[in-house]
Every structure is written in structure tokens, then in C-alpha cells.
Amino acid sequence: MNNNPWWTNAVVYEAYVDRFAGTFAQFSERLDYLEALGINCVHVLPHYPSPMADVGYDVSDYRAVRPELGTLEDFSRFTEQARQRGIRVIVDLVLNHTSTVHPWFIEARSSRTSPRRDFYMWSKDGKNLLEAINPFEHVTRSNWVFNQETGDYFYSAFYPEQADLNWDNPNVLTEFLGIMDFWVAHGVSGFRLDAVAHLIKREGTRSKGLPETHDVIKKLRAYVEKRYPEVAFLGEVSAPIDTLKTYFGTGDECQLLYHFPMAEWLVVALTTGDEATLGAQIAASDVIPKNCAWAFFVRNHDDLSLATLSESEQARLFSLLDPEGKYTFGSGIALRLASIFNGDKEKLRAAFTLLFSLRGATVIYYGDEIGMKNDEKRKPVPDVREYVRGAFDWAEARRAMADARSLWAHVARLIRAKT
């Protein structure tokens, strides 16, 4: 009998509610599909009310469901019906920033004496924190955004519509502890900690991965550990392996971490045949705290990050995968798995076989199990990641489920062997 925590052997299906099923009520009706595939955990991409400047990662209400996806009651029924099938539900916890139309920020930006003012970060001239990393430097030139109401600047690490929270204010932590309580009460088994390395900013630093950031994660984890020991944190940190490992702490921070370097080297191995470094990456990943696990993936809802590769390795992949720069997003490439391999079924089978050979949790991005490619029907958009976020192809899924030789059937067999 396997007595390890559930997250150490999870098979996570990452999906947008609207693009996979439509609404939460319709997603409930599609759970049979995931059960047939063998999925035991669903990561629901942002479901909160949002003006959708960043596909839902600009949250305007942390305690509600976006109206076009249904109601809170629909969400609760979804998590309950998933539980009955042995499927847990993870949701995003967007800790670094809120939408600029969130009530906290509307209040904060209205006056320099607002009670919510200290929930966010401000500068009189936008000349502070100039050494801080700008993750979206290909989109915006500065991390500071002018606020007309008070004549000064607020800090925004990502899109200007996303105002960074001030985690030096203990009231921000208190709010998020309550938010976690709320969603656990509605059936959630885990939280994906979005952009968690960016929480704390300090003058004279890159303002990423600072020691105080780990202090915040430890506080969040201690709270959950005491009340909900079965709830897991899945941390999103793009960094080299040794840095990534620090987000496990001593087993007191994230229970799961996305293994971004492994995703990059899996693609390198499968596109160039260079498997030597892949073995070294696997060996370097071995020693982590007990009851923690890597979350291995090849693709997800964002671009294929190449951040931990050398410049020459990045150049090689760009020349192979996106020579015209059509799908380039900063230092990454927005391509679905089947687009990376140009629909080559043997390459896709090999990709999933290699992915499932890694010991830990496994993450599948919706549609990759049926060979969905980039959605070329979408018109060119400023954010090319939209190409990997097309509507799920249910006609293809039905065909694949009926064919024992399909990619879907291959993935289902791999899942059964794992679980």
C-alpha cells in the first residue's frame, strides 16, 4: 500500500473551464472523460471574476466565480462530483498582484490617505527598485505605472493592469489566509502559487526569490498545515534546480514545484537528440525533502520557457521551433506540444513516455493528450500565448477514445501504469 501523500503521485490535468468545457456545470458533465483517462487531480486555471487583461490572472474578486463560468454553487457541485470520482481540484492563488479594478486597489489609488493604500507599493517618481526584474520587458518598459488620481506611481511586475501587493503589510497575509479558508470550504485540495518568487521587493536587488519571500510561503504553509494537512501548494518558480529546491524549504514550504528546467531539457532531448544533459538534470533533482515532489510537465498554458538554458541552447531551439519569431514571447516560445513536434505521433508518444518515466507528480495540459496544435484560427494578438489556449477538440477526443492505437490511449496506459 502506498502511504505517501496524494500529491507525490498525482496526475494533474491543467485546463481552462471555458475552453475545455464551457462552464463549471458543463465541466461536471465532462468529468467522465477525465476519469476514463485516469486523471486524479484537476488544476482549474483562473476562475475568478476578472477583466481578463491576463487571461484571469488579474483577479478582481478572490471569493467568487467569473459569471460566464457559472456560480459558486456550480463550483461546489463540480468539486463534489470530482471528489466522488477520486479527482482532487487545485485552483490558482494569485498572490503577487490583483487587478487594478479590484476593490482594494480602487480604494488604494483614490487617495494617499486611503486605509488600503499600504496594500500596494507606491513611488513618488517611479525611480525606486530600478534593479528589479521586469518579467514582461518585451511588453512594458517599466515596473512603475502612473496613477492619475494621486499623481504618483504604483508597482506592477507584469501587465500594467496588475498592481503588485505589498507583502510587507501583514494585513495582506491575513486576507489570503481567509481566501484559502473560503476555497477549502468549497472543496479545493490545493493551491497553485502563481509567480510566488516575486512577492517581496527590496532596493538594490532583482526583487525575485528574496529570503523574505520564503518567510511568507512558510507562514502560508504553517497555517494550512495546522488546519488542512491534506491541502497542497504547487509553486510556480522558473529557476535553476538548486534555486528551485529552496522553495521546498525543509519540507515546510511548497509540497510540489513545477520543474521548469526539466521541461526545457525534455524538449531539447526530443527535438535534437541531446539526452546527455537530461540525465544530469534528473540526477541533480533527486534529493528533496520527504513528502515533497516535483511536478513534471512538458507544456502548459504559458510559453515554453527557455530561461534556464544557455544563450546558444536558446538560439538552437528558436531556430528549430520558431525561426520566424511568430510565437516568441520574451525568452520563450508559445507552442503546444503537437506544434513543437509538427504532429509527429511517434515524437508525441516518446514525449509522454519520457515524461511519465520521471518520479513525481505529472502535469498534462488540456488537449495535449489528443495532439491538439496551436489554434491558428486566432487572429494575431499582442500576447502570443493565446495560440496555445484554443477550445478543446471534443470531436477529436471522441475519435481518440475509440482507437486503441491513439495518442490518448497511449497516455491512458501510461497513467494506469503510474497510478
Of 194, 264, 322, 369, the catalytic one is: 194
In-domain check, residue 130:
no
**CA 366 to chain CA centroid, nearest Å:** 13
> Given this model, what pLDDT does residue 377 score?
79
CA angle, 104 as apex, 99 and 106 as ends, to 5°?
A: 75
Question: Per residue in 76-96, pLDDT tens?
Answer: 999 999 999 999 999 999 999
In-domain check, residue 244:
yes
Q: Is 118 a catalytic residue?
A: no
> Given this model, what pLDDT does residue 412 score?
98
In-domain check, residue 154:
no
Number of structural domains, the chain? 1
Distance separating alpha carbons of residues 324 and 308, to the nearest angstrom = 22
**CA 158 to chain CA centroid, nearest Å:** 15
> Given this model, what pLDDT does residue 1 score?
47
Interior/surface letters 209-220, b for 16+ CB within 10 angstroms, e for the rest: bbeebbebbeeb
In-domain check, residue 209:
yes
Question: Per residue in 310-356, pLDDT tens?
Answer: 999 999 999 999 999 999 998 899 999 999 999 999 999 999 999 99
Distance separating alpha carbons of residues 327 and 374, to the nearest angstrom = 10
| Secondary structure string (H, E, C) spanning 60-111 | CCCCCCCHHHCCHHHHHHHHHHHHHCCCEEEEEEECCEEECCCHHHHHHHHC
In-domain check, residue 133:
no
Read out DSSP for 227-290?
Answer: H-TT-EEEE---S-HHHHHGGGTTTTS-SEEE-HHHHHHHHHHHHH---HHHHHHHHHT----T
Residue 181, CA distances (Å) to 70, 159, 165, 264, 380 in order: 21, 28, 20, 35, 40
In one letter, which amino acid is 372?
A: M
> Given this model, what pLDDT does residue 2 score?
63
In-domain check, residue 87:
yes
Residues 57/76/297/419 CA torsion (nearest 10 deg): 170
> Given this model, what pLDDT does residue 140 score?
86
Distance separating alpha carbons of residues 378 and 318, to the nearest angstrom = 22
Residue 127: other Cβ atoms inside 10 A: 10
Residue 118: other Cβ atoms inside 10 A: 14
> Given this model, what pLDDT does residue 380 score?
66
As to burial, measured by CB atoms within 10 angstroms (0-12 exposed, 13-18 middle, 19+ buried), residue 380 is exposed
**Host domain of residue 217:** 6-95+169-418
Of 54, 58, 236, 253, the catalytic one is: 236
Distance separating alpha carbons of residues 298 and 304, to the nearest angstrom = 8
Residue 331 maps to which CATH number? Answer: 3.20.20.80
375: three-class secondary structure by DSSP = coil
In-domain check, residue 110:
no
In-domain check, residue 145:
no
> Given this model, what pLDDT does residue 3 score?
81
- Segment holding 172, helix H or strand E: helix 170-185
Q: What is the mean pLDDT of the chain?
A: 95
Please choose, from the candidates 53, 88, 261, the residue with its C-alpha nearest in 3D space to the C-alpha of residue 183: 88
Residue 302, CA distances (Å) to 234, 298, 336 in order: 16, 11, 10
- pLDDT (tens, 9 = 90+) of the chain, 419 residues, equals 468 999 999 999 999 999 999 999 999 999 999 999 999 999 999 999 999 999 999 999 999 999 999 999 999 999 999 999 999 999 999 999 999 999 999 999 999 999 999 999 999 999 999 999 998 887 888 999 999 999 999 999 999 999 999 999 999 999 999 999 999 999 999 999 999 999 999 999 999 999 999 999 999 999 999 999 999 999 999 999 999 999 999 999 999 999 999 999 999 999 988 888 888 899 999 999 999 999 999 999 999 999 889 999 999 999 999 999 999 998 899 999 999 999 999 999 999 999 999 999 999 999 999 999 999 877 667 789 999 999 999 999 999 999 999 999 999 999 999 98
Q: Is 236 a catalytic residue?
A: yes
